[in-house]
Amino acid sequence: MIPWTTEGMPERCWLTQRRRTRDSSHLRIRESAYCALIFWKAPSRSGFDSLLVDWLTGLSGAHSAGADFSHTCGDESWIVTSHEITSPQWRIDGPHFAPISACHRPAWARIDVSPFVDAERLRHEIESLVSQKSIRHRGLDPVGYLLGITRHDRVTCSGLIGGAILRQRESPLAHALLQALRARFTYGEITPADLARAAAILGLVPEGETHPVVTLPVIARGRLSWLAPRRVPS
């Protein structure tokens, strides 16, 4: 369970949506060794796919995730996430940098994971993935999740971050994420709930809160195993 809050959330500004970009040349790093995971709560009226994925991953209520490496432009913080937004005049598809005011949800949780991962290495790797224009966003896909289907040129917001974390196998955060993934009955894409469960395993408390993230039961290992073999990424 994630202790959600609305404290500290920036006001949403629709004009900032089109500032989402895969070009980081205008951004500066405030703290090179800083990394926080940000989770956004699902809207009260979510689609069926969102509800199904949330049920499959432990009813965390987490809709999306981002990583804050202290990128700034002027006085505004920017994060890394992945999304697909299309309009007649503009489109973003895949991992990108976004001003924090463009990523508004009903509530959020920000968790500093800097002591548990090499934040600078993680940032460089994710920035490299953002720069690869062939990598695009993978939307909600319950069937792909159940069948354990992944594609190297498609990422979700949490899959982008989680995959990079797992490549730091020696880090405490990677160990916790692997433990969280092994609790699932199958492996498809890394979800926001998996990242949150890793934070819970480490006993982390969101910034500004007094209660840690708490694990909730997921479908027991072995159930529904006929749908797909459970595997953890190498």
Note the pLDDT tens digit of each residue in 196-219: 989 999 999 998 887 888 765 554
With cut-offs at 50, 70 and 90, classify the pLDDT of residue 12: confident
CA-closest candidate to residue 34, choices 4, 65, 78: 78
- H or E segment and range at residue 200: helix 192-201
Note the pLDDT tens digit of each residue in 52-88: 665 565 566 678 899 999 999 988 999 999 988 888 8
41 in Cβ contact with 6 (< 8 Å): no
45 pLDDT more than 70: no
CA 80 – CA 99 distance, rounded (Å): 9
Note the pLDDT tens digit of each residue in 143-160: 766 666 777 888 889 899
pTM of the model: 0.84
Q: Which phi and psi angles does 18 have, rounded to 5°? A: -80, 0
| DSSP one-letter code for 219 | S
Concatenating the DSSP letter of every residue in 53-89 gives HHHHTTS--EEEEEEEEEEEETTEEEEEEEEEEE-SS
CA-closest candidate to residue 61, choices 196, 174, 234: 196
pLDDT top residue among 45 and 6: 6
Q: Give the number of other CB atoms < 10 A from CB of residue 96.
A: 21
| DSSP one-letter code for 16 | G
For residue 99, give the 3-state DSSP assignment. strand
188 pLDDT more than 60: yes
CA-closest candidate to residue 157, choices 58, 62, 90: 62
- Provide the percentage of residues in the chain whose pLDDT is more than 70: 79
Strand ranges for 74-214 from DSSP E: 76-86, 91-99, 108-112, 136-137, 154-155
Half-sphere exposure of 200 (CA within 13 A, CB side): 19
Domain boundaries, the chain: 14-201
